[in-house]
Amino acid sequence: MKRAPFIAALFALGLALAAPLTLTGAGATFPYPLYAKYFAVYQKLTGVRVNYQSIGSGGGVRQLFAQTVHFGASDAPLSDAKVAEFKKRFKTEVVHVPTALGAVAVVYNLPGVQEPLKFTGELLAEVFLGKVRTWNDPKIAELNPGVRLPPLPVTVVHRSDGSGTTFVFTEYLAKVSPAWRERVGFGKSVSWPTGLGGKGNEGVAGMVRQTPGAIGYVELVYALQNKIPFAALKNRAGRFVLPSLASVKAAAALSDFPPDARVSLTDTPAPEGYPIASFTWILVYQDMAKNRAFKSRAQAEALAKLLWWIVHDGQAYNEPLHYARLPQVAVRVTEKNLRALTFGGEPLLR
């Protein structure tokens, strides 16, 4: 009978070793369908389980700071102030790992208009500021010769909930329109000068569909899946570009990609790029030992390997789900950042 405790201990050890590694993440809702796919495939490949809670980017960042999750996910990069605060509090860097690209489509409901409308950023800002009030306004007509624009009033529809989509859209307007920058600014929730607010992509799309003369913005994924007509936008190079997986990926092919991958793609200089595109990121601690959520080096290693897989093999799952793939330049920068991940100073990937 003396051997019983020993056997019990051995048994417990065996259980612990056999138990699958589990990683926890929280954050953005926009990439959730994609992440669910990644994690399901990855579990089949490696046995590593990932729990992802799509509680919103804000919540993801909050949980990352609170060290209750192994990784956070956000549609907007952390601000300079947040990055500095992170470094000061945790004595390590926050690493932004881009996983996919999304874009914001400008959708509208104009009975009788078949061809995609063209907009410039300035005009879009004026519409959303409430300065262009009818669809047959000369400013719209000038950009769309040959289109029979009805004399309907313009009904602006925007997101009422805080969202990365709003962040990207308003950041674009703030870049191209000084009046917008002055009056509204940009953020996940802004003080809209006019219009109706719908909750979520489905809320905005629903209101646009229901209201003749409405104009709004939704995630490109959502517009594509639901076949809502969207507008072509004039990019910085002067071309009118429709949002598509190709034009979104082109927007991110920047020659001067920043080493920390915190890059805004709105109003991109890329000649073929759609101007309202954005990365979505996974956020991790560079030295994972500084994150109390990690109980062992094995967990940190599993996360580093998972991230490596996502930016390489995992990318194959992006386009079937209507998310654009990372361009090569982003993958190269991210490879370098992933190699710099450590656990207590020891590199995690070789």
Partner 1 sequence: MPGWLYRRLGDRLFSALVVGLALGVVLAALAIVWVLYQGGREALHTFGFLGFLTGSRWDAVRGEFGAWPPLLGTLLTSAAALFLAFFPALSAALFVVEFAPRALKGAVAYLIDLLAALPSVVYGLWGIFVLVPLVRERVELPLFTWAAAHAPGLLAFLGPPTGIGMLSAILVLALMIVPYASALARDALALVPQSQREAMYALGATRWEVIRRVVIPYARAGIFSGVVLALARALGETMAVTMLIGNSVNLPYTLFGPAATMASLIANEFTEAEDDLHLSALIAVGFVLLLIALATNLVAAWVLRRMSLGEGRK
What are the beta bridge partners of residue 103? 277
Number of neighbours of residue 95 by Cβ within 10 angstroms: 22
Window 298-317: contact mask with partner 1 (x via CB under 8 A)? --------------------
Report residue 29 as tokens: 């809702």
Q: How far apart are CA 215 and CA 229, in angstroms?
A: 10
Regarding beta strands 214-219 and 155-159, do their DSSP bridges make them parallel or antiparallel, or are they unpaired? Answer: parallel
Minimum CB distance to partner 1 smaller for 55 or for 329: 55
Q: Is the Cβ of residue 58 or residue 102 nearer to partner 1 in the bound state?
A: 58
C-alpha dihedral (296, 31, 333, 337), degrees to nearest 10: -20
* Contacting residue, 196, 242, 246, 254, with partner 1 by CB under 8 A: 196
Q: Nearest approach, Cβ of 272 to partner 1 (angstroms)?
A: 31
Asked whether the beta carbons of 120 and 233 are under 8 A apart, the reply is yes
Closest by CA position to 337, among listed 327, 348, 326: 348
Residue 121 or 203: the one with the smaller Cβ distance to partner 1 is: 203
CA distance linking residue 332 with residue 131, whole number of Å: 44
* Contact between 226 and partner 1 per CB under 8 A: no
Q: Residue 69, interface with partner 1 (CB under 8 A)? A: no
Of positions 116, 187, 229, 269, contacts partner 1 by CB under 8 A: 187
Residues in 28-57 that interact with partner 1 by CB under 8 A: 55-57
Task: Work out whether 195 is an interface residue with partner 1 (CB under 8 A).
Answer: yes
Q: How many residues does the chain have?
A: 350
- 161 belongs to the binding site for partner 1 (CB under 8 A): yes
One symbol per residue from 119 to 158: x for binding partner 1 (CB under 8 A), - otherwise; what is it? ----------------------------------x-x---
**Binding span for partner 1 by CB under 8 A among 113-121, 135-143, 195-203, 254-262:** 195-203
CB under 8 Å to 83, separation ≥6 — which residues? 93, 94, 262
CA 6 to chain CA mean position, Å: 51
CB 236 within 8 A of CB 264: no
Please, which residues bridge with residue 234 across strands?
A: 240
Binding mask 73-112 for partner 1 (x = CB under 8 A): ----------------------------------------
Residues found near partner 1 in the complex (CB under 8 A): 55-59, 61-62, 153, 155, 160-164, 184-199, 203, 206-207, 210-211, 214
